[in-house]
Amino acid sequence: MQVDSGRGASYTVPCDDYVHVVEFSPFDSGSAASLLAYGGNQYVVVGTCRFQEEDMEVEGVEFTTLRIFHHALRVDCLAWSPESRLDKLPQLIRFCTAAADRKVRLLTSDLQNQHEVKVMEGHTSYINHLVFEPTEGKQMASVSDDHTCRVWDLEGNETTTFRLRSPGVSVCWHPEDAFKLMVAEKKGTIRFYDLVTQQAILSLDCGQSPLMSADWCLTNTIKVGAVAGSDWVIWDITRSSYPQEKRPAHVERAGNFRWSRVNENLFSTTGCPGKISSQLLVHHLGHPQPVMIGSATVGAGLSWHRSLPLCVIGGDRKLSFWMTEM
């Protein structure tokens, strides 16, 4: 593993507008290429990505647009459904979004002529994060500045509401533990809720605020990570409610934390967008310093590829992809 002193993106894909949010689908779509969605000021682009690391015939990256969805407002967050498939006919694309009107939108398309948008109302303030139930995709969860986490079915019914003690910033649903929901709150607490009893069963405390983003490790369910203030923090949830490791990451406040989907020791953080550029750091738990430092003009969003050590952030009319040398 090489330590980088700061570099531009491995690959970029041009876009027509500023990209506010970008997400690789974490699920198998039945295609050799990866599904990717990015959203901007009144649109969501859904496409597939193929990288030279996966296919010798690709030079760098090959992005193919499948469909552009009109979206009434700027897209603030987006989550993929595991039901999205490209290997069946009709094909199915399904994802949900949130925008400043406090509504969750569920978008479903067969990429031909069937398109459906369901609007879900209930939150009374800004929605910060969304997730689909990862095994069947029949439910979604959202967290908001209104101090709630809400669970919805695909018909738009609110099935469960968890009252929080501060704004909800992240919500995670693990495929190996589908009856639990992890909810991170801005004041520095992460709670696990049992969806059957609807009770909190475990809480973690990062000892500082604001907690801006948290993630539950896909490849090791006992690992949870977050950024709070300008630090990253990692817990082993079987050992203590207090962090096992904590390090300063960004000069100013950190914005996002995401675990790699292929390596339980690899994760990335971003700084809050500055006036000119935003910093992407890739960290490895075995290394005292970041293993990669990337600089992007005012980045937004952060997502890892489902099978490569590669992450993407959005920016001004482009997507930037960073490959980490393992």
What is the per-residue pLDDT across 272-285, written as a single tens digit (0 to 9) for each? 766 556 688 999 99
Instruction: Tell me the CATH number at 237.
Output: 2.130.10.10
The closest of 304, 259, 314 to 283, measured between CA atoms, is 259
The pair of structure tokens assigned to 312 is 């993407």
Residue that is written with structure tokens 């897209």 in the block = 75
With beta carbons less than 8 A apart as the criterion, state whether 241 and 278 touch. Answer: no
Report d(CA 46, CA 32) in Å as an integer: 16
pLDDT at position 274 is 62
Residue 230 lies in a domain: yes
Q: With respect to residue 187, please indicate whether it lies within any of the assigned structural domains.
A: yes
DSSP H/E element including 162: strand 158-163
pLDDT averaged per 10 residues in sequence order, the chain, 326 residues: 58 93 96 95 95 92 96 94 95 96 97 94 97 97 98 96 98 95 98 96 95 96 95 95 92 90 95 70 90 78 95 92 86
Is 89 within a domain? yes
Dihedral angle, C-alpha 9, 14, 20, 23, nearest 10 °: -70
> Domain range holding 190?
11-323
pTM for this predicted structure: 0.94
Cα-to-chain-centroid distance, residue 285 = 20
Of 165, 164, 166, 169, nearest in space to 128 by CA: 169
CA distances from 48 to 41, 65, 153, 185, 253 (A): 21, 7, 27, 33, 32
pLDDT tens-digit readout, 176-206: 999 999 999 999 999 999 999 999 999 999 9
**How many domains, the chain?**
1
Is residue 50 domain-resident?
Answer: yes
